[in-house]
Amino acid sequence: MRISVIGCGYLGAVHAACMAKLGHDVVGIDVDERKVLELSSGRAPFFEPGLEALLKEVQATGRLTFTTEMSSARGNAVHFICVGTPQKKGENGADLTYVNSSIDELLPYLSPRDLVVGKSTVPVGTAARLSQLVIDAQPAADLLWNPEFLREGHAVSDTLHPDRLVYGVSSGSEDDRAVDVLDEVYAGLLGTGTPRLVTDLPTAELVKTAANSFLATKISFINAMAELCDAAGADVTLLADAIGMDDRIGRKFLNAGIGFGGGCLPKDIRAFMARAGELGADQALTFLREVDAINMRRRSRVVEIARELCGGSLMGQRITVLGAAFKPESDDVRDSPALSVAAQLQLQGATVTVTDPEALANAARRFPELHYERSAEKALQRADAILLLTEWQEYRNLDPYETAALVSTPRILDGRNILDSSKWRAAGWTYRGLGRP
Ligand code: UGA
């Protein structure tokens, strides 16, 4: 099929490459010329495992091109909307500027029977409004909402092997022509048994925000338990293992630490609260305010423990922060708890050196005042304390004896509770976890 993918960020670039991998003829459209140039030459404009190899593979077939020209959407049967919906400045709500402008620009190029497929995360009610715009411009065209659940760092495999596909259609019925069209696009995935659910438009939009809210709640729940474990002298990692063995609870997303960040969970729960307020249902989501508050409290708690670790004052302390990305296997630093902690430590008088295998360029753009060092070994030299804040494999693998030989004082704060505390203590380290005795 001939497909347009509008917006070539973390979601769109991966989606475009994966649709070409499924055998379709795809054009990726983005307003950012630099991004289009990079993608056109087979380079990923951000770090995502497997993406660059996939881009090269599908570009060699001639089935994937990138352009800044919206007119290239003309003649394609399906148009995916994959643009970002960031948080509005100074407000909780989502900024729909990019969604609105991409639809406005696409409308003149729609042909009868085209299908517009929304993938961006939007406040419930947006799809119905956009659907009307599509029908007004081209009465025989249609809009379907198909939320995306991919995780950064696993984006390619999540797109090619999703847990489920959700189709929101205006009729809410399986017999909708839009369902048949999207089934054809995803034939390769449906053929391998991927479950597919057909809903109405608002349900499909809500599935996405509900899923991210649930994940955020799970993380804040275990972080609240970490606060209690700290107060009671208990161990939150063992607690998570034990409750996670109950199938109804499950162990995934129960890793206590410095909290969640990134371009999705934090802004999605805030946009969800804002939208609930507009709908007069704000009471239903007041718990998300607490989820957000618990999450933000983690960052101050880490700074507090770092101060304790440094003997009561951060002034003049040389602190090495391992990890800047909001999670491993990503170079994304949007709302990264690791960077936010690093910046607070520096503000409070510490000399902070940040290292990360992939995210330093993005980090330096956001916080130019911090020191950055690509080599972890160099970054660790003469440190008065280490903070492990993003659990990259190379930090998990650190040897406590070799590391002790590099630093000035063997003190470590394990912000992700991933190190074997007894091993580190045996090597002479003062070890602090979060919610661990
Ligand atoms: C999240 C969702 O997991 C995806 O399903 C969704 O499609 C995506 O948002 C989106 O809306 O686009 P992502 O932001 O890539 O994906 O990252 P996650 O893997 O969910 O991690 C989010 C944050 O939670 C990270 O900072 C991570 O370190 C933290 N986290 C995760 C914990 O602190 N503890 C855990 O147990 C798990």
Minimum CA distance residue for ligand 1 atom 18: 151
- The dihedral sign for the CA sequence 406, 409, 413, 417: positive
Going by C-beta distance under 8 Å and a sequence separation of 6 or more, which residues neighbour residue 162?
A: 149, 150, 189, 194
Q: How far is the CA of 91 from the centre of ligand 1 (A)?
A: 22
What does the radius of gyration of the chain's CA atoms come to, in whole angstroms? Answer: 23
Nearest atom, ligand 1, residue 416 CA: 33
- Please report where in the chains the tokens 């799970």 appear, as a residue: 218
Amino acid at 267: K
Minimum CA distance residue for ligand 1 atom 29: 260
Question: Measured between alpha carbons, how far is 284 from 17 in angstroms, rounded to an integer?
Answer: 39
Residues 43 and 6: beta-carbon distance below 8 Å: no
Q: How far is the CA of 260 from the centre of ligand 1 (A)?
A: 7
Could you tell which of 220, 265, 296 is best to mutate to test the pocket of ligand 1, judged by most ligand atoms within 8 Å of the CB? 265
Nearest atom, ligand 1, residue 212 CA: 2
Question: Measured between alpha carbons, how far is 258 from 220 in angstroms, rounded to an integer?
Answer: 10
Going by C-beta distance under 8 Å and a sequence separation of 6 or more, which residues neighbour residue 347?
A: none
Active site residues: 264
Residues 138 and 112: beta-carbon distance below 8 Å: yes
Tens-place pLDDT, residues 377-430: 999 999 999 999 999 999 999 999 999 999 999 999 999 999 999 999 999 999
- Phi, psi torsion values for 43, nearest 5 degrees: -105, 140
- For β-strands 411-414 and 430-432, DSSP reports them as parallel
For the sheet with 430-432, list strands across it.
371-372, 351-355, 318-322, 385-388, 411-414, 430-432
Classify residue 365 as exposed, middle or buried by CB count within 10 Å of its CB (0-12, 13-18, 19+). exposed
Domains, the chain, with CATH or none: 2-194 (3.40.50.720), 201-437 (3.40.50.720)
pLDDT at 210: 98
Minimum CA distance residue for ligand 1 atom 23: 260
Integer CA distances (angstroms), 331 to 31, 70, 311, 323, 387, in order: 22, 28, 33, 10, 19
Question: Measured between alpha carbons, how far is 24 from 340 in angstroms, rounded to an integer?
Answer: 41
Minimum CA distance residue for ligand 1 atom 24: 260
Nearest CA-CA partner of 189 in 50, 55, 58, 21: 21
Amino acid at 292: D
Q: How far is the CA of 366 from the centre of ligand 1 (A)?
A: 21
User: What token pair was written down for 147?
Assistant: 């939320």
Minimum CA distance residue for ligand 1 atom 16: 151
pLDDT at 326: 98
Integer CA distances (angstroms), 52 to 44, 70, 184, 354, 399, in order: 5, 24, 26, 26, 32
Could you tell which of 260, 336, 396 is best to mutate to test the pocket of ligand 1, judged by most ligand atoms within 8 Å of the CB? 260
Which residues, given as ranges, of the chain have pLDDT below 50? none
Residues within a 6 A CB radius of ligand 1: 121, 148-152, 212, 215, 219, 253-255, 257, 259-262, 264-265, 326-327
